Structure 1
Amino acid sequence: MALKKGQEVELEIIDAAFKGKGLAKVDGLAVFVPGTTPGDKVIARIIKKKKKYREAKLLEILEPSPHRIEPRCRHANVCGGCSWQHIPYAKQLEFKTQQVRDHIERIGHLDGSIVKMGIGADEEFYYRNKMEYSISARRWLTQEEINRDEYVDDSAFAAGLHAPGRFDKILNLKECHLQVPESFQILDFVRNYCIEHGITPYDTFEDSGFMRHVMIRNSHHTDDFMVNLVTFQDDQEVMQKMARALLEEFPFITTIVNNVNDTKSPTAIGRFEKVLHGPGFIVDEIGDFTFKIHPNAFFQTNTAQAEKLYEIARNYAELQDGDIVYDLYCGVGTLSLFMSKPAKHVLGIELVDVAVKNARFNAEENNVGNVSFIKGDMKDVFTEEVVKTHGAPNVLITDPPRAGMHADVVERLCELKVPRIVYVSCNSSTMARDLKELNKVYEIEEVQPVDMFPQTYHIEAVAKLKLREPEE
């Protein structure tokens, strides 16, 4: 069967594949169908034709999988925020673990048995400590509206999340179960307040309007609660009235901030910022360490799971008194601080200047004196001067972005022969690629997946590496 673009075909989903898509096979050809789960029998339309595979859109479920459940949220089949709500959480964890194991075997050419069962989250919903809702003058139409013969107006004060693959259209949320319930209540209040008071939504194409984003942060370990209102214009009279209305309705809010982004950039980071109420930051903890989190600062999105992830990384490091630790891609230094006991010294290395400044601030705030941070590109930083100043590392932590480590960094690590390496990854495919090369010098002892994002296909993983004994 040729499977041409536009063709409708009956499929049986046999596995969960990359990015959470269901996998079917037709005469040996892979067909990927989002929104499905292993065991589903479906009708789908081919929408993309590639040499070795096809991508299809789900049209109808003929026979649901025994693993399929009813999603909690009415937007689950449309919203890109949590695309696996139709799968029980225990099965999600199985599929994610298998995904890591598949990457380790297929890309890393390693024994899949080193991959342990993924560690799940205690909270399947309401686990995020930050949500960034967008506001637009155009809403995403429902499938029912799209199928109508007559014209349907998409103009509205839409508040929610971007429709998958669209920068200009917002899914106008009626509910959301990713952050604590108060988060959506605040979004709904701001939407209704703006409509009632004639405050306009930002229009991407016209480059006009007022409201752009509502970003909400809540602390896992304290009662701190932040609302960050991102606007296109600076109008403090309007914002002060809105802040007072928010505090009257939600007195538990501890700080309200107004970021003003008067550029065409879609980011929620303002060109400047004004504090409308409270200190302008919230306080949270990871392990024994306290962090002041400002509106635009990076902080792990799932605090409880981040603590589990960091604990695994610290156990894998097997830290001993007197150890010197290098932490590559250290960000704002949370993992560096977590590794500071009982190490003699931890050196955090990061390319982003503002992250280095935040890391130094976090170390100072926590009175940690055996951690320092330098700015530099990972592939260029292992100079004799750095090693002479900070000492040769006994342990190296690497937590690269989704693209993994640069090939030059991997090569340098093989040359350095640090006794112990801990590799923290948000993308098991690029981690497997890097481990394949590191395996020439290091034994990959264990890989532990950790689920930071229930209801999605994303999975973190931590790998434990030990320098191979020299051959006699």
Structure 2
Amino acid sequence: MAVKKGQEIELEIESAAFKGKGVGKFEGMAVFVHGTAPGDKVKARVFKKKKKFCEAKLLEILEPSPDRIEPKCRHAKVCGGCSWQHLPYDKQVQYKGEQVRDHMVRIGGLEPSIVKDAMGARNEFYYRNKMEYSISSKRWLTEEEINRDEFVDDTAFAAGLHAPGRFDKILNLQECHLQVPESYEILDFVRSYCEENDIPPFDIMNKEGYLRHLMIRNSYHTDDFMVNIVTYQDDEEIIRKLSAALLEEFPFISTIVNNVNDTKSPTAVGRFENVIHGPGYIVDKIGDYTFKIHPNAFFQTNTKQAETLYSVARDYAELKDGDVIYDLYCGVGTLSLFVSPKAKKVVGIELVDVAIENARFNAEENEIDNVSFVLGDMKDVFTTEMTEEYGAPDVLITDPPRAGMHQDVVERLIELKVPRLVYVSCNSSTMARDLKLLSECYEVQEVQPVDMFPQTWHIEAVAKLRLK
């Protein structure tokens, strides 16, 4: 009997699949169920049917897995931020490593033995140095409220995170354990202050209101603490009073910035920015290098684990004195600076102009003069002319976006035949695809998964390649 959409089924979850879903078999067909753990026996309702698999919504855990634990946060079952809190952290790391290994074997055609066990993070919670909270006039209802017979009003000053799959409704957080506790305390204070002082949240449908986002950044290596208040209007009186109240309640705040986004864009990046208190940036370190982090600048979200990730990449590069190093998709130059001490020259390439500006600024601030940054689309600027200008690379590090490298870039690497190649990735499936293509002339010697984001299914990986 074929599985049908809407059908309720019972099955045992056999393993953890990509994107954090548990997977089991029903009448020979793979069924993916969010919010489950290997070993769970569950009842679920099929909502998507494909030729070779289907997806189902968890209705009931009939028999919990021996590995299942009670989540630390009350929002874990509905919040998209922490999809794996029901698993012990050692199991999270194990399953993430298995996912990377599966991609390398199934997609990349590589031997499973080259994938090492995943490296776990030092902190399971409170590891993020940045949280971007959203503000809305509509809150996400609880399951209990949704199932009530009577009408439940969803209008509110909602402050927290977007409900999964919804751009217009916010899960009104009552706790969060991703950033230091002070982060949620500030969010809660701002929500209460705005309610008491009739400061309206932004209404994305009607394009009216005041407060849009609250972004909080803290430094790992210093005591710096930033509050970035993103508003729809530039109202000096409101922002000055709110900032004064924040500083009275939280005197450790080192800088407050007001980004004004009076456009239709839903981002937390303002069309312009006002520094209300302090220098307008915070300072942190990765390795021996110091970085001034402005409100909208990219910086690795898990500072301490970024040092681990970069150390793996540096070790895989096997750097030698006088090396010419290319850093593709270099971002704000953190990895470029990290590998610069032994290099004759480091060339970073990046598409985003603001990132290049930050990279050049970071090099100057750290008094590093052997690093150059080139702005442009990788497939257009990473050419023969570039290598003629800067020299052929002895080592090349590539850290592409989730989609992986463009076909032209892969072909250029095959043509270039770099002696030592290091591939850093936040998406092991596209990484495996690219490694399969690169294996035409490179040997993939080792892959090291590194967990940057505990309580989620995301995993980084670093691959060591050598010219055949």
State the TM bucket, normalised to the shorter chain: over 0.9
Residue 358 of structure 2 corresponds to residue 358 of structure 1: yes
Are 2:40 and 2:61, in contact at CA under 8 Å, matched by a contact in 1?
A: yes
Per-residue Cα deviation, 1:236-262 (whole angstroms, up to 9, x for no partner): 101000000000000000000000101
Runs of 4+ deviating beyond 6 Å: none
Q: How many Å apart are 1:314 and its aligned residue?
A: 0.4
Deviation at 1:388, TM superposition (A): 2.4
- 2:405 is aligned with what amino acid? M
Q: Which residue of 1 aligns with 2:423?
A: 423
Match in the other structure for 1:307: 307
Distance 1:389 1:167 in 2: 46
Secondary structure of the structure 1 residue equivalent to 2:128: coil
Q: Which amino acid aligns with 1:377?
A: D
Match of 2:34 in 1: 34
Match in the other structure for 1:370: 370
Query: How far, CA to CA, are the matches of 1:359 and 1:407 in structure 2?
Result: 26
Contact 2:383/2:412 (CA < 8 Å) preserved in 1?
no
What's the counterpart of residue 403 of structure 2? 403
- The equivalent of 1:154 in structure 2 is 154
Q: Which residue pairs with 2:344 in the alignment?
A: 344
When normalised by structure 1's length, the TM-score is: 0.98
Aligned partner of 1:295 in structure 2 is: 295
Q: Which ranges of structure 1 fall in alignment gaps of 5 or more residues? A: none
Rounded to whole Å, the distance in 2 between the matches of 1:3 and 1:172 is 37
Conserved? CA contact 2:346–2:371, under 8 Å? yes
- The 5-angstrom pairing of residues 148-297 of structure 1 reads 148-297=148-297
Structure 2: any 5+ residue segments left out of the alignment?
A: none
Between the aligned partners of 2:378 and 2:259, the Cα distance in structure 1 is 32
Q: 1:382 to 1:234 in 2, by over 3 A?
A: closer
Counterpart Cα distance in 1 of 2:28 and 2:129:
43
Q: CA deviation at 1:220?
A: 0.4
Secondary structure (helix, strand or coil) at the match of 1:344 reads strand
Deviation of the 1:383 alpha carbon: 3.0
What is the CA distance between 1:27 and its match in structure 2? 2.1
- Once residues 417 and 389 of structure 1 are traced to their aligned partners in structure 2, the CA distance between those partners, rounded to angstroms, is 17
CA deviation digits over 1:430-464, x for unaligned, max 9? 00000001111011000000000000000000000
Distance in structure 1 (CA, Å) of the matches to 2:387 and 2:95: 42
State the alpha-carbon separation in 1 of the partners of residues 317 and 176 from structure 2. 38
Report how far residue 412 of structure 1 moved.
1.0
Give 1:5 shift. 1.1
Q: Secondary structure at the match of 2:35?
A: coil
Indicate the residue corresponding to 2:320 in structure 1: 320
User: What whole-Å deviation, never above 9, does each CA across 1:60-96 have from its counterpart, x for those lacking one?
Assistant: 0000000100000000000000010000000000000
Aligned counterpart, 2:83:
83
Greater Cα shift, 379-388 or 85-94: 379-388
Residue 419 of structure 1: how far off its partner (Å)? 0.1
Q: Is the 8 A contact 2:232 2:260 kept in 1?
A: yes
Q: CA RMSD in A?
A: 0.7
Distance 2:387 2:211 in 1: 50
Q: Deviations over 1:397-421 (max 9, x none)?
A: 0000000001111111011000000
Residue of structure 2 equivalent to 1:135: 135
Q: What's 1:65 paired with?
A: 65
Letter in 2 for 1:466: R
Partner of 2:380, secondary structure, is: coil
Distance 1:158 1:265 in 2: 19
Partner Cα distance (1:404, 1:383) in 2: 18
1:96-135 matches, cutoff 5 A: 96-135=96-135
Amino acid at match of 2:364: E
Please report how far the alpha carbon of residue 265 of structure 1 lies from its aligned counterpart in structure 2 after TM superposition. Answer: 0.9
Residue 413 of structure 1 corresponds to 413
Q: Identify the residue that residue 4 of structure 1 maps to in structure 2.
A: 4
- 1:224 shift after superposition: 0.1
**Residues 208 and 125 of structure 1: CA distance in aligned 2, closer, same or farther (over 3 Å):** same
Question: Secondary structure of 2:141's partner?
Answer: coil
Paired residues, what number? Answer: 468
Q: Does residue 408 of structure 2 align to residue 389 of structure 1?
A: no
